[in-house]
Structure 1
Amino acid sequence: MADSLLHHKHLLWRAGFGMGINQISDLENKSMKTLVNDLLHEQSFTEINYDTPDTPISDNMMATPAAAEMKKEMQQIMRKQNNELNLNFLDQIVNSKDQLREKMAFFWHGHFATRINNSKFSRQLLNTIRKNALGNFKDLLFEVSQSPAMLNFLNNQQNKKGHPNENFAREVMELFTMGRGNYTEKDIREGARAFTGWGYNKEGHFKERKNLHDEGSKQFLNKTGNFTGTDILNIILEQKATAAFITGKIYRFFVNENADSRIVEQLSTDFYNSGYDIKKLMNTIFSSTWFYDKKNIGNRIKSPIELMAGMMRMLPMNIQNPENLIVYQKLLGQMLLYPPNVAGWPSGRSWIDSSTLMLRLQIPQIWSGLRPLEYSPRQDDDIDMGMKSRETALNKSFKNPNITIDWSRLEKVFANRNCEDYLIQNTKTLDMDSVRNFSDRSIKMTIINLMSTPEYQLC
């Protein structure tokens, strides 16, 4: 297999969600530089939405039985809207030409992790992350920190003068910017005082409630002043530790879980000096020769969303009941809009245990209609998604997304090509004899069997 094809595949998996079937013939004639430029060229931005209109809940009628009924109804609508957002985001991930924007948004979605029922707030945050995904980290940090979703999730609505709530200030420093070890407990306390009054109104707009803000002097990261939340974020962005923390996390996600400290340090310095230009950082990574080193290729375990999206990009499919794709996300342990906690999803080997590995290996057969789905969620699954019981979650209607795959198109595309060269990152360990022995040698069965190998789990 030509190195150029291997490098093209590597780039498309890391800077996107794998090669799409419509890219195959095109790729063979493209230089690496053109491909990187294509990925960095952003299309015009469109927001992700849902169909149901937002219904305001008025607080003053919450005490009556009618209001309780209305609240219940609202929660059902919001759950439906969150599901729709989830599927619309998945659709962008699979079908958007803006693959790098969506991959970067997917990364930030795990970095700025929130989990709230309010679908309007979920939608706002998702679109904020997508809009700024390749922009400036400062803008992204400010917009996320002032989003109702984040302020709600981290209790800053309750952060007021005299009774500071430290949750928001702590996570902003620990998880979103500097990382542990670069601030003290005192910095958290003083930062929380500066964020007092940051909240949002019923319409879902950010609001600085001056009457709740602590106007006293604060000491934060060796500076003293009458700081506001805006000052705190600016001081955090002045710290080189912030650039180092973000760059390290991006490197581990896009390049290798074992970070090369020398490279990360250089990238981090450039990122800091560029004023936090995300697109410039990603361009440097994808244009560097070290990105294409053997040790960085085919060494990452695909997350469930990457696994599903990669298959959906390669197999031209018509899905009758897309809502059932949410069940697969749930069973595999990664549901869009529902990270397990504020630290986001874990990665690497944590994606695979005995139950998820079996399902991962069987999805190609299930989606091709060759075997039924026979699974229930992990015991520790805390995403109830409003499904009352595991039986309901997996009743008959949920088992089959009713997928029809256009195999004739795949047969045309792969008529004179080796499927494994396009589907597998590391073909060295692949036993093609057993792949062929398990199939009738048709392109359809070869593809299904390749996607059912342990090697397909890696990108």
Structure 2
Amino acid sequence: MVASLVNNKHLLWRAGFGPGIEQIDELKNKNIKTILQEMFREESFSPITYQTPDLEPLEYNDPKENAEQKRKLLKLHQQQNNELNFKFLEKLATSNEQLREKMAFFWHGHFATRINNPKFNKQLLNTLREKSLGNFRDLLFEVSRSPSMLQFLNNQQNKKDHPNENFAREVMELFTMGRGNYTEKDIREAARAFTGWGYDKEGNFVERKKLHDTGTKTFLGKTGNFTGDDVLNIILEQKTTAEFITKKIYTFFVNEKPDLSIIENLSQNFYQSGYDIKKLMNEIFSSSWFYDKKNIGNRIKSPTELFAGMMRILPMEIQNPENIMVYQKLLGQMLLYPPNVSGWPNGKSWIDSSTLMLRLQIPQIWSGLRPMEYAAKEDDDMDMGMKSREALNKSFKNPNIMIDWNKVDHAFNNKKAEDYLIVNTDSLDMKIVKQFSDQSIKTNVINLMSTPEYQLM
């Protein structure tokens, strides 16, 4: 296979969600620099929103009517969050700005929040998308002031004389510096600095002056009458912050086994650039080591990457998008609902005997060639939001997907589909693939997507 084709596929999967069907024709001969220019080209930003109208606020004094209104509100919030979820997945799959959306997907797992308020979820999601390739300082400040994050990490309850340390701890441990670079005293002092940070009913950030501890604080070796802004600025002054973020980006975009010398060099440049995310990503994707064989086809696709990649290569119309959530639940990655503040784990954690079986069957199920026969494990520790395995099966409906196979036939005509669908074909046994295929491009594409090799990128 042409080396440039392997590199092109590698770049499109790592900096986005794989090649789109309209890119197949030119993929073999395209120059990496041209693809990079296209990846970094920005369009005007379009926010994700939901169409479902909000309910009027509670106006009743009757407890029964109040309870009914609350039930309606919970159901409405679920509908609006589902709408945001699918629209985000749709953006990941269809946007021309693949790198912007891939970075937003990365930050969505990095700045993980899990709340029920769709208005706050929408606000944070669009912040992550709009600023995904901007400046990490700006992103950190905006996320730290978002009602979604302040609610999730209890900073609304952080008041002088009764500081709540949740937000201060996670800002350092998970979002900026990583463990071992601060003390318990630093957490306590930072929590004091963040007292009074909160939000109003509309989701606007507010500094509640009366609840702020105005006393002197000592944080990371500096002493002063620090505010929350001061704490974030001091954190950004630490080179360990640039190292922590760079290492996390490297393990997500390049290789789960970190190359410390490369990371050190990248993080120094990242720090000196004043935390310019776009510059860091350009340096990664432009480096010759990014295209080393050890970095190609070595990552297990997350469920979201798997879905978005299929949606990019198979032009599809999804009649019941809400049923895509079932697949997200079963495979362990429901957008807007990370398992905890650490976000989703990666790598081999995506695969066990049951999830692998479903992953391999999805191309056939979505193509209407086999029914959905998968049931959640009885002891599944992920909240299915359903009472039993029977309830999950009963509630399941097929997404009813219409795929334009004529367009697929046209795209792959006179081409080896495996060269475009599989990132690294070295271990692929085409005899087995062809054994279960008729002569059509349709079954060949479905069978290739049903191989273990398609799970890798």
Same fold judged by TM-score > 0.5? yes
Residue 421 of structure 2 aligns with which residue? Answer: 423
Residue 137 of structure 1 aligns with which residue? Answer: 136
C-alpha distance in structure 2 between counterparts of 1:425 and 1:286, whole Å: 16
C-alpha distance in structure 1 between counterparts of 2:381 and 2:442, whole Å: 34
Residue 200 of structure 2 aligns with which residue? Answer: 201
Residue 5 of structure 1 aligns with which residue? Answer: 5
Residue 118 of structure 2 aligns with which residue? Answer: 119
Residue 149 of structure 2 aligns with which residue? Answer: 150
SS where residue 275 of structure 1 aligns?
Answer: coil
Gaps of 5+ in 1: none
User: Is the contact between residue 54 and residue 120 of structure 1 (CA under 8 Å) also seen in structure 2?
Assistant: no
Residue 434 of structure 2 aligns with which residue? Answer: 436
Q: 1:383 to 1:56 in 2, by over 3 A?
A: farther
Amino acid at match of 1:131: E
Residue 449 of structure 2 aligns with which residue? Answer: 451
C-alpha distance in structure 2 between counterparts of 1:453 and 1:383, whole Å: 29
C-alpha distance in structure 1 between counterparts of 2:250 and 2:372, whole Å: 36
Choose from 398, 401, 405 the match for 1:400: 398
| Equivalence map 1:78-117=2 (5 Å) | 78-117=77-116
C-alpha distance in structure 1 between counterparts of 2:420 and 2:240, whole Å: 40
C-alpha distance in structure 1 between counterparts of 2:6 and 2:164, whole Å: 50
| Equivalence map 1:22-421=2 (5 Å) | 22-55=22-55, 57=57, 64-378=63-377, 379-385=379-385, 387-395=386-394, 398-421=396-419
SS where residue 447 of structure 1 aligns?
Answer: helix
Q: 1:69 to 1:104 in 2, by over 3 A?
A: same
SS where residue 199 of structure 1 aligns?
Answer: strand
User: Is the contact between residue 5 and residue 29 of structure 2 (CA under 8 Å) also seen in structure 1?
Assistant: no
Amino acid at match of 1:411: D
Question: In the TM superposition, what is the alpha-carbon distance from 1:83 to its structure 2 partner?
Answer: 0.3
Percent identity of the aligned residues? Answer: 70
In the superposition, the TM-score normalised over structure 1's length comes to 0.97
Question: In the TM superposition, what is the alpha-carbon distance from 1:70 to its structure 2 partner?
Answer: 1.6
C-alpha distance in structure 1 between counterparts of 2:110 and 2:213, whole Å: 29
User: Is the contact between residue 194 and residue 229 of structure 1 (CA under 8 Å) also seen in structure 2?
Assistant: yes
User: Is the contact between residue 330 and residue 377 of structure 1 (CA under 8 Å) also seen in structure 2?
Assistant: no
Question: In the TM superposition, what is the alpha-carbon distance from 1:344 to its structure 2 partner?
Answer: 0.2
Q: Mean alpha-carbon deviation: is it higher for 125-134 or for 406-415?
A: 406-415
Question: In the TM superposition, what is the alpha-carbon distance from 1:69 to its structure 2 partner?
Answer: 2.2
Question: In the TM superposition, what is the alpha-carbon distance from 1:438 to its structure 2 partner?
Answer: 1.3
Amino acid at match of 1:422: Y
Q: 1:282 to 1:62 in 2, by over 3 A?
A: farther
Amino acid at match of 1:435: V
Question: In the TM superposition, what is the alpha-carbon distance from 1:445 to its structure 2 partner?
Answer: 1.1
Question: In the TM superposition, what is the alpha-carbon distance from 1:30 to its structure 2 partner?
Answer: 2.3
C-alpha distance in structure 2 between counterparts of 1:135 and 1:393, whole Å: 41
C-alpha distance in structure 2 between counterparts of 1:402 and 1:346, whole Å: 30
SS where residue 258 of structure 1 aligns?
Answer: coil
C-alpha distance in structure 1 between counterparts of 2:388 and 2:120, whole Å: 27
Question: In the TM superposition, what is the alpha-carbon distance from 1:68 to its structure 2 partner?
Answer: 2.6
Amino acid at match of 2:293: K
- C-alpha distance after superposition, 1:148-190 (max 9, x if no partner): 0000000000000000000000000000000000000000000
Q: 1:79 to 1:389 in 2, by over 3 A?
A: farther
C-alpha distance in structure 2 between counterparts of 1:68 and 1:312, whole Å: 41
Question: In the TM superposition, what is the alpha-carbon distance from 1:289 to its structure 2 partner?
Answer: 0.5
C-alpha distance in structure 2 between counterparts of 1:115 and 1:421, whole Å: 39
C-alpha distance in structure 2 between counterparts of 1:156 and 1:317, whole Å: 43
Q: Mean alpha-carbon deviation: is it higher for 150-159 or for 21-30?
A: 21-30
- C-alpha distance after superposition, 1:341-377 (max 9, x if no partner): 0000000000001110000011111111111111123
- C-alpha distance after superposition, 1:388-435 (max 9, x if no partner): 544333326x33111122222211221111000001111111100111
C-alpha distance in structure 2 between counterparts of 1:62 and 1:286, whole Å: 60
C-alpha distance in structure 2 between counterparts of 1:377 and 1:280, whole Å: 43
C-alpha distance in structure 1 between counterparts of 2:57 and 2:146, whole Å: 19
Q: Mean alpha-carbon deviation: is it higher for 61-70 or for 284-293?
A: 61-70
User: Is the contact between residue 193 and residue 214 of structure 1 (CA under 8 Å) also seen in structure 2?
Assistant: yes
SS where residue 198 of structure 2 aligns?
Answer: strand
C-alpha distance in structure 1 between counterparts of 2:430 and 2:272, whole Å: 48
Q: Mean alpha-carbon deviation: is it higher for 74-83 or for 24-33?
A: 24-33
SS where residue 270 of structure 1 aligns?
Answer: helix
Amino acid at match of 2:342: A
C-alpha distance in structure 2 between counterparts of 1:193 and 1:321, whole Å: 48
Give RMSD over aligned pairs: 1.4
